[in-house]
Structures are given as structure tokens and as C-alpha cells.
Amino acid sequence: MNGRAGETTADRRAPGRRAGRLPARLRHIALFAALGALGTLAHYAVLIALVQGGAAGPVAGSTAGFLVGGFVNYQLNRRVVFRSSKPHREAVSKFVVVAGIGLALNALLMALLTGPLGAPYLPAQVVVTGLLVLWHYAGNATWTFREARRPAG
């Protein structure tokens, strides 16, 4: 039987009262976002280098940066945020699905914002990144890194 949606190993080790879980969940999301900032930094560094260097447009640069940031985030999420003991084969395949959907949403939203809506690429990327944090946390907490519940005993 699987744990509750978004439940991590750390959640199961120190179960609290239901009323006390919301602050713990918010702290967990804050940790996810804070460490995700490192992946975001890698993403933006690649994006800016490619666009400012004339090697790619905003959508291609953002896509390349997203891939680099995804690699950084997988490592941090698995080891620090979710403390997952899942085998890499299982975790990576699920992470790639969640990230792949995020990548498609990133490219679609960047194309919309920088194309027809005419937004500058960096402010557009900030908006898109903010929206996708919620997607990535939900997908990774409820599916990618969620551990199966162990029977009490």
C-alpha cells in the first residue's frame, strides 16, 4: 500500500497531528523551492548564455536550460528533499515523465509569452518558472519519490 499523496519517508518517521501537518508540508515545499533555485540558476545561466551569445532563440535556450536544471534538480530532490531510497531506474523514469510534461509546458508558455504576447524573454521565464514549481512539486511528491508504505510491526 502506498503512503498518502506527497508523503515522504521523513513524514512517516515523525507523524504528527493532522493540524500540525500543514506547516510541515509548507516547510517541505519551501525546501523544494529553495533547492530548486539551484536548478533554476543553472537553467537561467544556460538560457542567458545561449540567447545573449546568439546561439539560440528564447524557446530553444529555455529548453536547453530546462534540461540542465532538471539534472541538478533530480539529484537534489532524490537525495535531500525527498530522501528517496527508490532505485534510480524507477525514480529517474518517473522524474523524466514529470520533467517532460514540465518541459512541454515550459516551451508552450515561453512561445506564447515571447511570441504573440511579445513579452521579453527573462520576465516571461520568471513567470513560467513560478507556475511550474507547483507542477514539479506535486508530480515528484505524489509519484516520483513517494515511497511505498511499510507495514507497521
The number of residues making up the chain comes to 153
pLDDT the model gives residue 53: 97
Cβ count near 82 (within 10 Å): 24
Domain ranges, ordered by start, for the chain: 9-144
Give the tens place of pLDDT for each residue, 2-29.
455 555 555 555 544 555 667 888 889 8
Query: How far is it, in rounded angstroms, from Cα 20 to Cα 22?
Result: 6
How many CA atoms lie within 13 Å of 106's alpha carbon, on the beta-carbon side?
32
pLDDT the model gives residue 66: 85
Cβ count near 73 (within 10 Å): 26
User: Which of the four pLDDT bands, split at 50, 70 and 90, describes residue 1?
Assistant: very low
Give the tens place of pLDDT for each residue, 36-76.
999 999 999 999 999 999 999 998 998 899 889 989 999 99
Give the tens place of pLDDT for each residue, 114-136.
999 999 999 998 999 889 988 99
pTM higher than 0.85, yes or no?
no
> How confident is the model over 78-89, as a mean pLDDT?
92
pLDDT the model gives residue 19: 54
